[in-house]
Structure 1
Amino acid sequence: MLFNPWCEDDLIFLDSEEERQEYVLNDVGRIYYGTENQIGERTWNYGQFNDKIFAACLFVLEKSKTPNSGWGDPVNVVRIISAMVNSPDDLGVLEGNWSGDYSKGTSPTFWNGSVEILQEYHRNNGSPVKYGQCWVFAGVFTTTQRTIQMCP
């Protein structure tokens, strides 16, 4: 499995070096959250270069129980990871919670990056991390995609 945004023959090729810098190599970005009428933003550490993140991302793919023969297709991998970031039906990475009661886990507002979340999921053998909301799901999804694009 190797997705290479620098290779013209790869489906995920990005013709613009500026886009590769932003969408593949930038390990810190802005995450937006809130409602239609009240939008906030915060810095998010994608952490795709962290030495344990690649193993955690492969673990997510393995936990999906999808045939690894499909892992060479970037469209298929995006669909798998998209399903696996949210836990309810796939035993995925994060359990969503919008109730305001986070006493059995971590408040979504605590998270400022994906590294701790993915490492906790991996360390706990695929037990969903508590808790996430939309922007946390988006941050973790982005990290997995950037990591897989940089895989060895």
Structure 2
Amino acid sequence: VNLLSARKIKDTRFPFPYAQLVSIFLLTFAFVTPWVLATLIQSKVWCGFFTFVPVFALLSLNYTAGQLEMPFGHDANDLPLDKFQSEMNNSLLMLMHDYSDHVASAASTCLRDFDAVREDLETVEVNRSISCSVERARASIFVNV
């Protein structure tokens, strides 16, 4: 199932026209923003700062989206496929081990009768309710102090 999901991610390409429109809008934004802010802000330093921050933020988001678009490969931001493959191989090797198909057995002292198990559970629940009421009584003593 996970292999098919990974194959879907690999084979499904991001729509090229959408990527081109995002690039065009980013370039337009980068060129228009200084002109608009120059008419609104008198200081050149503040105009440069208020131009740099949103343009840098949007270009950074676009770069990050480009990195996330293709998660398979050998870049620093890619998924560790070698590690995934070795974990899968280890899981398959464990299935091939001689003792991998042994079913756990119950101890000889375990309760196998339904009524005995039910009585044992009822005893545990009674003991638990008694301990809870004692804790509540203790808590009420400390609250009143």
State the TM-score, normalized to the length of structure 2: 0.24
TM value normalised by structure 1: 0.24
Q: Which has the higher strand share?
A: 1
Bigger proportion of residues as helix: 2
